[in-house]
Amino acid sequence: MVDFVALAVTAESCVTVLQSFVLAALLCLVLEFCLLPAGGRLWRRKGAVWAGHLAVLLLIYLVELLIFRRPWFAASQVVFWQALMLVVNRVKLAQLYEPFVYQDLHYFVDIFRHPRLYLPFFGFGRLALAIFVPVVLVGLALQLEAPMGLLQLAWPLLSLLVITLLLMFGSWHYVSPLVGIDPTLDQVEMGMLGGFIAYAKAERQLALLAEPLDCVEPGGVQPHLVVVQSESFFDARRLWPAIHPQCYRWFDQLNADALLHGELAVPAIGANTLRSEFAFLTGLTNSEQGIHRFNPYRRLARQQLTTLASRLKAEGYRTVCVHPYPVSFYQRDRVFPHLGFDEFIDRKGFSHHSDNHYVGDEEVAERVRQILQQATEPTFVFVITMENHGPLQLEKVSIEEPAQYLTALPPKSVQELTAYLRHVVNAGKMAQILCDTLQQSPRPGLLCWYGDHLPILPELYQAEQFDSHRTDYLIWASAQQQSGLQRQAVAQREVHDLANLLLTLLAQHK
């Protein structure tokens, strides 16, 4: 006989599962409409985009349902995770002027590996809610909702799994990977989850790259080359002119003697240092990198690429990267050997840290001095500093300290700007050590200095209506090197231009 009781129980469980998921999906759409720019333009999305959106929600729902066997709790988790990603998206838009994209998902792991770099920007209040809400939901689920038996859930789970696979297949095959690679526009047109699928699909296609670096025959004596990618460095007098002259006196002096200097267009704002360093080393523009520009170290950097380091290495240079932070961050331990570096000196190569948690610029400069003094061959040292990384709001600033760096207080971010300028002064001490080292070396030398991106000061930018995202750069030569070169006019550049400029200058030395 047919077990009508079992059929009724199964039918009831199917209805409960369907109701809970439909309600969760509708709430997620409401959240997108309220929290995405322009409401995500829900009515303009294509069918394949909707399929991908529902597939991701269903996948989260299925995992939670399988683990906890409580449909309404699974639905609440779907809404929670969607809300969390939308909040992260708004935070990133406010701080970095760019939405949260698929290539950023690995940052959820980095939050626990490097909490200082991320949590202060997310906000400790939001973090408390992100921890508190799931705990409350689990407690309520355990008290108010009885778990279903696996037999009750067998048919709903199987049905939803089949639907999820069909939706994912349809979305993967019909969402165009040729997105505009304008993350703000793409998110408005496709939503967050639809954009994730499109960007994930596009990332699977490796770029067909041209050779961006010029082939330049080396000159006679090969000079040392030191390149400093200075953390968050720019001439802040463009933002707030009332800065004490001592803060940038060193920079003005170097500019007066520089072969080249000016403002620099970089592919990052406030963070994502790797974008600037990759563009510098490879000479590749954003358009040439395509979808990989959001994080070129995920796939693109593992291709066989010609870089400034590999080109100099082929000409007999020793190539060293100095970055006083764990080499595993951004997977540089796996990537940099592909970029042509003989050695990577990370935080383990330094004895102590500065007061703001990171290794100070002066200590980094002393380490570079040791490398050059011990060098028996032409050496390329690529330095990625950390001292001025921030979060600036976590640094201690005394009541008297702003007067040391500012001749008038800005309307916002006094503490942050004061801390920033303190590190700019230390950067100047680093530059002086490097210049002295290159001047004293029997081998001529070049110093290239540039900022990777602007510091995170959104309130001050808004108050001063500051919308420039350029940093600054200079190329300076020791006295021996300058004898064969001519100074050029101040010029705006892009960071991907610098490698070719340096190769040309190195080849001009006779």
Give the Cα-Cα-Cα angle 96, 102, 108 (nearest 5 degrees). 75
Query: Is pLDDT above 50 for 335?
Result: yes
DSSP codes, 61-117: HHHHHHHH--HHHHHHHHHHHHHHHHHHHHHHHHHHSS---GGGTTHHHHHHHSHHH
How far is residue 324 CA from its own chain's centroid?
Answer: 17
pLDDT at 5: 46
Question: What pLDDT score does 486 carry?
Answer: 60
* 449 vs 19, more confident: 449
CB 295 within 8 A of CB 274: yes
> How far from 446 is each of 228, 349, 443, CA to CA, in Å?
11, 24, 10
Domain ranges of the chain: 4-203, 224-508
Q: Does residue 435 register a pLDDT over 70?
A: yes
pLDDT digits (tens, 9 = 90+) for 186-240: 888 888 888 888 888 888 877 667 777 877 666 677 899 999 999 999 999 999 9
Q: Would you state the pLDDT for residue 388? A: 95
The predicted pLDDT at position 131 comes to 76
Residue 234 vs residue 71, higher pLDDT: 234
Calculate what percentage of the chain has a pLDDT beyond 90: 49
Contact 224, 318 (CB under 8 A): no
Q: What is the band of 49 on the pLDDT scale with cuts at 50, 70, 90?
A: confident
| CATH 1.10.8.640 describes domain 224-508 | no
* Between 319 and 39, residue with greater pLDDT: 319
Q: What is the pLDDT of residue 487?
A: 65
* β-sheet bridge partners, residue 252: none
- For the stretch 225-268, pLDDT in tens is 999 999 999 999 999 999 999 999 999 999 999 999 999 999 99
> What's the first-to-final CA gap in the chain, in angstroms?
98
What integer is the mean pLDDT of 411-438? 97
Q: Which residues pair with 263 in a beta bridge?
A: 472
Q: Please tell me the predicted confidence (pLDDT) of residue 367.
A: 96
User: What pLDDT is stored for residue 481 in this prediction?
Assistant: 57
What would the pLDDT profile of 283-320 be if each residue is shown by its tens digit? 999 888 888 999 999 888 877 789 999 999 999 999 99
Look at residue 4 in the predicted model and tell me its pLDDT. Answer: 43
On whether the CB atoms of residues 207 and 100 are closer than 8 A, the answer is no
| pLDDT score, position 1 | 43
The set of residues, in sequence order, having a beta carbon less than 8 Å from that of 509 and lying 6+ positions away, is 219, 220, 221, 222, 223, 444, 481, 484, 485
Residue with tokens 């590996």: 113
Mean pLDDT taken over the chain:
86
CA distance 435 to 254: 9
Given a cut of 60, whether residue 355 has pLDDT beyond it is no
pLDDT over 50 (residue 2) = no
Give the per-residue pLDDT at 137: 78
DSSP code for 32: H
- Residue written as token pair 């760019």: 98
